[in-house]
Structure 1
């Protein structure tokens, strides 16, 4: 018998989509078992199934994370997804902080409209969670439940990824939005890396990280962003979460569409983020904390803000199984995938400044790809290369050491570049794009950290403000080579609002404008997914050229510079863009260029304004 009734969220969930409750008596072993189906039942929006199961706790003698395994097959006429579920305590742990209960849950992101059938198994056995990845041929389950639901088309009025779809790798240099097939250009925030060290998450505390006198008890509160929270936004518990949700709102309104954060820094720089009930309890997960993270990540999906999920960092990448793919590490990946894999903008990053060998990195990637039904892109981040300096125990070229063995590898898509010398960014991006093409698996290249570790991108009011330099060398330098986007790092421990202590994102308000100008220019004026770097067409090696030859050319011209550009025959238009101020294109035809010889033009500053950088667009009429 199947009963259906409407239901509303509690007041703190107002604004989240309405949902449907379905109670089902389909079970082979427990005729009284029921399930609850929640969600809008629209394409890309999450479907949540919650089942009754064993009454257990986070510290139960039978480990609910290792010794039970919930697997659900979701099938339509074309395909089947096998999705991992998880222990959900009382089913409302984000609000109740419960650590025990009988609720078991799975979340699924449907990629197609029409009828979907599901079959859910809850199995018990020693370490079964990291052993059993398919439904058993014979019934070896605590229960076996079947059901179905109907998915309707995308809500064209929805926001973020709920309208544009999941980010997916398609064998090109840009991730694509699965619904509209548009390329995704990342405009990312890379600090604070311990974004999730938030005081209103359960079980979160400073476990001995660096001295951060600007933070209360060493944790983030994001107090200046509480006013950026909106009445329709989520909270949890007793009105918690306004600071972190407001911070995301502010960044989204500034045009930022990606966030880089660690989900585990135990024994690392911050030592204040972990998914477990305690830093050393690495097979026992904090259900309420992770449910609260889920609230934040769901809000990111609605904002269209991608999740650069860094799974470890250089200081702690041997915390789990001494760096090998052992039981704790497998469970770590499995819990991340089960609880958060349904989100639409995920990139799984295998580690910040990785120390791990190519063999180990490939084993991590293979395992994640095996258990992630959505095939989210996989990345890794390199150690910095310092010219002329051999750092103890490290290669002179850790970029080459990290990425060369990954070229062409089937389960790896994104080199997450860190560059010490920003003047090398432009050539380094192009190098890895070209090498990946030669290996017949084109990479999506991200620039995810720049400059000396204690500088990064400065605050707007810093005495050593470096925005002009970073705009030229790193922002436009990477994009004009074909990079798929950037994340901006805030600098080290002695810098206000740094990579650990940043609380107020408005301290870089002007920088967000500059970064967004570049993204908007590419999206509004260029068929950039069809273009490539063509610096060879220029006479000045300080300038950059990005082009689809004989159709459209874009030249980045630094201040006080000129260059010749070789172009094809025919009539072209020319326009100028101020990359710092943004805004309109200036298209006066004879102020900043002249024909010097057949098939060549000389480019100079628009209207004689040599004191600033210019972006010049030459397009066939």
Structure 2
């Protein structure tokens, strides 16, 4: 089923026209409530009166009902799945039953939008890609319209820049601004949603985290980062997790990696259901509280890298196949959270699944996701010396090589144990995908060694200089689209599962943001590619748009020759650790050694630090 298609059978529906008009905040017409700012990119929420049910009823409200709403404006058509919302206020009330059915839609254009809504009942109709073609019981159908105004001039985050979209390039694109998006992300804790103030959340026997209270996150060090007007729920709940997002956004982070299901996994403390073993019954109040957090991420411009499972549990649903429980899981995630603007659906951390299974997951998600959010997968780590039947074990290649060119896959989410391999590996997959005429967006989403990752500021073995060189700049200078920073797997405070205080890596966020700002402010990076063949020193990197602009990463105590084009060029230096302004003083940091070649060295003889050198045509 293709996306944004206007289903012709809608034309034959004898819909009741309720004539919903544009509204400010809330307008109720018969069984509809329309909410939202009615500005481009900001979510429109339609809540309908439907059957009074409970999440535990014999007729399963998640599986045996289907709410489908078609939105169209004469040019575009979005068919959006809705969901059971209990009493409509479940985040606050914890309600388990009610008669409210809801759909959220993120309009990408101004002007008049019309909708037709249809609620049906039938066995397993909830997982149908096309429930209106099923011969099931129709409960009601209705229609209406609303007007969408231009983007809010005071909006922030993705409400200002628009949805992140794959457009056939090596970077995702902000659909409102047209700018290419470079991820600067946080990859720990992977169980970010194991938060003590979410309903139905508890430690179900995961890895030991003795520094956490009852095995759950509180983010208490970030309560002070919560601001007036930020979301809360219940009795003043949520300030810790919302404050942590505020802190990270203030430090320049624009992406977060998190699990939505880790049952039987490392954390064993995150799931969307009423119980880890009841995988067709969803916890409406918990998911409504997640929604408050995700909405705040949109406002902050923080992308959602949604990891749907992990290596320890990727056979939990239907033994790893695309069966009833797995389809319902994907459909509920898309229905409840697909309207968010920075979503990437990740098929699994350190995936063990076959190519056929991964493709089936991706194709089903795409069939129910009207927004075509990018789809990713994460590989097992490459381990030197391990083999199968005498053949070197390379899970990176085994995961991604068969997916090259596949129409429903856009992002290899790379895990690399040996950081010295990152620069070459990113460049390799960028070029392979280009050869298949479906360029991939290459993410670096975990670095090793597994027990170290990125250390804290105060760690005795602080590894920032090495990670800055090999992983941060190493990936970006190969045309990588960004990183998520993993904290290491040991059970000491503020490592992966135990991470509570993001300020313990305050200096690292500055270093990561320096790279992000350099690329965004000084380079047409989307027009550039790796050209290491132009530098003589193999420890250096070169990223260039040949004959126009060259960027060289020069490690400390090194020099290199660079081949450049004819004509006059300027030179400037950038301190990747300190950041700040480009330094353009002409000095012994470069000299012409022969035609079309220059020798590059440290700025003003400061050989004890790494330098980024920009050589640009006048």
TM over 0.5: yes
**Is 1:502 equivalent to 2:508 in the alignment?**
no
Superposed displacement of residue 77, structure 1: 1.0
Superposed displacement of residue 141, structure 1: 1.5
**Is 1:406 equivalent to 2:406 in the alignment?**
no
Output the CA distance in 2 between the equivalents of 1:412 and 1:137.
Answer: 29
Aligned to 2:423: 426
Q: 1:40 aligns with which of 21, 37, 41?
A: 37
SS of 1:300's equivalent in the other structure is helix
SS of 2:497's equivalent in the other structure is coil
Contact preservation (8 Å) 2:47, 2:102:
yes
Q: Deviations over 1:54-102 (max 9, x none)?
A: 1000100100000000000001110211000000000000000000000
Aligned to 1:581: 578
Aligned to 1:31: none
Output the CA distance in 2 between the equivalents of 1:192 and 1:258.
Answer: 13
**Is 1:290 equivalent to 2:287 in the alignment?**
yes
Contact preservation (8 Å) 1:294, 1:340:
yes
Aligned to 2:57: 60
Structure 1 pair 549–529 and aligned structure 2 pair: CA distance change class (3 A): same
Aligned to 2:260: 263
Contact preservation (8 Å) 2:569, 2:617:
yes
Contact preservation (8 Å) 2:386, 2:393:
yes
Query: How many residues are treated as equivalent by the alignment?
Result: 601
Structure 2 spans left out of the alignment, 5+ residues: 1-17
**Is 1:459 equivalent to 2:456 in the alignment?**
yes
SS of 2:483's equivalent in the other structure is strand
Contact preservation (8 Å) 1:160, 1:301:
yes
Superposed displacement of residue 136, structure 1: 4.3
Aligned to 1:484: 481
Superposed displacement of residue 386, structure 1: 1.5
Contact preservation (8 Å) 1:20, 1:39:
yes
Output the CA distance in 1 between the equivalents of 2:25 and 2:526.
Answer: 38
Q: 1:543 aligns with which of 540, 543, 568?
A: 540
SS of 1:170's equivalent in the other structure is coil
RMSD: 1.6
Structure 1 pair 550–236 and aligned structure 2 pair: CA distance change class (3 A): same
Residues 489-498 or 529-538, more deviating: 489-498
Output the CA distance in 1 between the equivalents of 2:103 and 2:442.
Answer: 32
Superposed displacement of residue 493, structure 1: 2.3
Q: 1:558 aligns with which of 555, 558, 561?
A: 555
Matches within 5 A, 1:265-284: 265-284=262-281
Structure 1 pair 328–586 and aligned structure 2 pair: CA distance change class (3 A): same
Contact preservation (8 Å) 1:4, 1:20:
no
**Is 1:166 equivalent to 2:172 in the alignment?**
no
SS of 2:181's equivalent in the other structure is coil
**Is 1:236 equivalent to 2:260 in the alignment?**
no
Q: 1:71 aligns with which of 68, 71, 95?
A: 68
Contact preservation (8 Å) 1:429, 1:481:
yes
Structure 1 pair 394–342 and aligned structure 2 pair: CA distance change class (3 A): farther
**Is 1:187 equivalent to 2:201 in the alignment?**
no
Aligned to 2:208: 211
Provide TM-score, normalisation by structure 2: 0.95
Structure 1 pair 393–207 and aligned structure 2 pair: CA distance change class (3 A): farther
Contact preservation (8 Å) 2:122, 2:136:
no
Output the CA distance in 1 between the equivalents of 2:116 and 2:594.
Answer: 70
Q: Deviations over 1:84-122 (max 9, x none)?
A: 000000000000000000000000000111111000000
Matches within 5 A, 1:443-454: 443-454=440-451
Output the CA distance in 2 between the equivalents of 1:311 and 1:139.
Answer: 30
Residues 387-396 or 117-126, more deviating: 387-396
Structure 1 spans left out of the alignment, 5+ residues: 7-17, 25-33
Aligned to 1:299: 296
**Is 1:616 equivalent to 2:613 in the alignment?**
yes
SS of 2:185's equivalent in the other structure is strand
Output the CA distance in 2 between the equivalents of 1:236 and 1:393.
Answer: 56
Aligned to 1:29: none
Contact preservation (8 Å) 2:419, 2:448:
yes
Output the CA distance in 2 between the equivalents of 1:4 and 1:169.
Answer: 33
SS of 1:370's equivalent in the other structure is helix
Contact preservation (8 Å) 1:455, 1:495:
no
Structure 1 pair 550–4 and aligned structure 2 pair: CA distance change class (3 A): closer
Structure 1 pair 225–342 and aligned structure 2 pair: CA distance change class (3 A): same
SS of 1:36's equivalent in the other structure is strand
Matches within 5 A, 1:374-389: 374-389=371-386
